[in-house]
Amino acid sequence: MDVIHTKIAIIGSGPAGLLLGQLLYKAGIEHVIIEQRSADYVAARIRAGILEQVSVDLLKFAGVDQHLQRDGLPHSGIEILTQGKKHRIDLAGLTQGKQVTVYGQTEVTKDLMQAREQAQLHSYYKAQDVQVHDFDDAPYVTFNQNGKAYQVQCDFIAGCDGYHGICRASAPQDKIKTFEKVYPFGWLGVLADVPPVADELIYVQSDRGFALCSMRSETRSRYYLQVPLTDHVDDWSDERFWEELKNRLDAESQQNLVTGPSIEKSIAPLRSFVTEPMRFGKMFLAGDAAHIVPPTGAKGLNLAASDIAYLSAALIEYYRTGSEQGIDQYSEKCLQRVWKAERFSWWMTHLLHRFDSESEFDLKIKQAELAYILGSEAGQTTLAENYVGLPYEIMDLDQLS
C-alpha cells in the first residue's frame, strides 16, 4: 500500500473541492483531491449557470476568473412572467448596484481543473472504494486506483463529494440530523445552440406550470419546464418541448423564441435538503454533501462557494496562527447562510410552480402574494437581495490572503 502524507484530503472534484484546492494552493497548504469519477466525466457535467457577486469575487481572488471575465454575462435584472405579462426586477437598482453573472458551472469546473493542472497539483481520478477513517482523532483516507491501494494520512478531511458521497454517509448516525422536502415534480432541461429568447432570464408562472428561459452565452440557451416526476426524457421530443415552452410564454417571447436541436436533455427532481452539523471532528462537509436546494433560486453552486470561503479561511487561520476558532465556527456560520438560501429557494419554488395538491383558494393566495411582490418596492427588494446573494462574513478576502 502506498502511503501519502498531506495536510488536507479533499474528497470530490466538483466545484467545491476544486475551489478549496485552489484556495489552499494559493495559501501554500498541501492537499490532494480524490475523485471516484474520471476527469472527463467531471468536466462534462451540466449544472447551474448563475453566479452571485460574492461568488464572482471569490473566483477572482482564487485567480481563475480570466474566462469568466471574458465570457460571463453580467445581468442587472430578471423578468417574471405571470398571467401573460412580464415584470422586471431591477436587481442592481434595488441592491445598490449588485448583479449576477451568467456563467455555466461546467465552465467554472473547467477553469478550476485547468488551473490545477497548470500548478501540477495532485488529483486522483477514478478512485475506487474510497473510505474515510478515524476523523475524530487521526484521519486518513483509503482508496484503490488502477489496481493499487493507497492510504492518505492527513490533518483534516474535506467532504466535497456530493449528495451521494461517502463522507456524509460515514458520519455517526447518532450525531447527524437531516431535514428534507421532496417536491412532486421535476425540471426538464434542454440545452441548445440557439440565441436566448431575451437579454435577461425569464421566470414563468403559468397555468400549465413553471418554465425558465435562461442562457449560457449569447449563442447557447438553457430552457426548463416543470414536468411530473413520472415523465421520462424519452417522452419529450425536441418538437414537443419547444411547443410546450411556447404555450407557457407570452406573445412577444413566443415570437422571439428561436428553436433548434437539443444538445443535452435531462429531467432533474427537485428537493430541499440540509445536514446538521457540517463538521464531524476533523471532517467537514461542504456543498451538495451538506445541502441541496431546488434550482429555482439559483443557489446551489453559490452555497458551495460560500461553504468553501468559510472552510478555506478556517484552515488557513489554523495553519498560520494555530487558532481553531474558524474551525469551531465553520458549521454554525455555514448553516446560517444555508438556511436563508433554503428558505428563498423554497419560497421561489412554491410561488412559481403549480402543485397538484393546491386548491383554488391556495392558487388565489399565491397569485395575490406574487402581485404584492411585483407591485411593491419593498417586496421586489426582498426578492432582489436574496437573488443577488446575501453577504457572508468572510468576504473580506484579506482573511484569505
Q: What are the tens digits of pLDDT across the range 20-29?
A: 999 999 999 9
- The answer, yes or no, to whether residue 64 has pLDDT greater than 60, is yes
The span from the CA of 191 to the CA of 213, in Å, is 11
Q: How confident is the model at residue 48 (pLDDT cuts 50, 70, 90)?
A: confident
Q: 162-194: per-residue pLDDT in tens? A: 999 999 999 999 999 999 999 999 999 999 999
- The answer, yes or no, to whether residue 378 has pLDDT greater than 70, is yes
Q: Mean pLDDT throughout 53-58?
A: 93
CB 90 within 8 A of CB 121: no
Taken in order 300, 18, 276, 318, the sign of the CA dihedral is negative
pLDDT of residue 47: 73
pLDDT of residue 401: 59
pLDDT of residue 245: 98
The span from the CA of 12 to the CA of 270, in Å, is 22
Which contiguous run of DSSP H or E holds residue 10? strand 8-11
- The answer, yes or no, to whether residue 381 has pLDDT greater than 60, is yes
Enter the C-alpha cell of residue 6.
498531506
pLDDT of residue 116: 97
- The amino acid present at 171, given as its one-letter code, is A
- The answer, yes or no, to whether residue 397 has pLDDT greater than 60, is no
> How long, in residues, is the chain?
401
- The answer, yes or no, to whether residue 309 has pLDDT greater than 80, is yes
Helices marked H in 6-104: 15-26, 39-44, 53-61, 66-71, 91-94
Compute CA 204 distance to the chain's CA centroid, rounded to the nearest angstrom: 21
Q: DSSP class of residue 397?
A: G
What's the alpha-carbon Rg for the chain, to the nearest Å?
21
The residue with greater pLDDT, 1 or 99, is 99
Cis status, amide bond into 277, omega within 30 of 0:
yes
pLDDT of residue 400: 62
- The answer, yes or no, to whether residue 355 has pLDDT greater than 60, is yes
Q: How confident is the model at residue 255 (pLDDT cuts 50, 70, 90)?
A: very high
| Domain at 183-269, CATH class | alpha beta
Q: How confident is the model at residue 40 (pLDDT cuts 50, 70, 90)?
A: very high
pLDDT of residue 43: 87
Catalytic residues: 75, 203, 295, 299, 387
Q: From the CB of residue 337, how many other CB atoms can be counted at a distance below 10 Å?
A: 21
Taken in order 204, 205, 206, 210, the sign of the CA dihedral is positive
Q: What are phi and psi of 278, to 5 degrees?
A: -110, 10
Domain ranges in the chain are 2-74+99-181+270-390, 183-269
pLDDT of residue 1: 84
The residue to which cell 421520462 is assigned: 232
CB 107 within 8 A of CB 68: yes
* Pairing mode, strands 291-292 and 262-276: antiparallel
| CA distance to 26, 111, 228, 294, 351, per residue, from 184 (Å) | 43, 35, 7, 12, 14
pLDDT of residue 392: 77
Q: DSSP class of residue 295?
A: G
What CATH architecture does domain 2-74+99-181+270-390 belong to?
3-Layer(bba) Sandwich (3.50)
The span from the CA of 306 to the CA of 187, in Å, is 25
Least trusted range by pLDDT, from 1-5, 259-263, 388-392: 388-392
**pLDDT > 70: percent of the chain:** 98
Q: Which of 298, 237, 362 is nearest to 49 (CA)?
A: 298
The residue to which cell 419554488 is assigned: 349
Looking at every residue in the chain, the average pLDDT score rounds to 95
